[in-house]
Amino acid sequence: MRINSFLLAVLALCLAMTSCGASGDGVRKDDGTFLLTGTVGVVGNEPFSRLVLSVAPAGGSGPPADHAVKGPLAEELRSRHQGRVVTVECRRCGESAPGRFPCIEPVRIVGAE
């Protein structure tokens, strides 16, 4: 009986983690946007450099996940917030190809440290 209770608790915990977005995607909203907090930076060499938002993984272990930043707010993030931790409300801007960063389009800058 104790084993069944334990297995049920583990199953409930696993379901809760997957439904809450434990992958580090941020807080999802009803309009399809979500919040991400990370460090703004530029990766790569010219002419192939990219603006990215480096998001720490859920749980704090492992390398950060980079998200390519596109759209009208990209230049503001590059010029005014590079190297800083920011929270942005964003949406996905298409499917990412294998080996490429997932693409996000910030809708607004919620906060910056």
Q: Is CATH 2.40.10 correct for 24-112?
A: no
CA 67-73-75 angle, to 5 degrees, is 90
CA separation for the pair 95, 104 (Å, rounded): 10
Nearest to 91 by CA among 73, 77, 79, 103: 103
| Phi, psi dihedral angles at 98 (to 5 degrees) | -55, 135
Domain spans of the chain, in order of start:
24-112
Q: What is the per-residue pLDDT across 40-65, written as a single tens digit (0 to 9) for each?
A: 999 999 888 899 999 988 777 788 89
What pTM, to 2 d.p., does this model score? Answer: 0.68
Report DSSP state, residue 88.
Answer: E
Output the CA–CA distances (angstroms, integers) from residue 38 to 1, 10, 25, in the order listed. Answer: 45, 30, 11
Digit-coded pLDDT (tens) for 4-22: 555 445 444 443 333 333 3
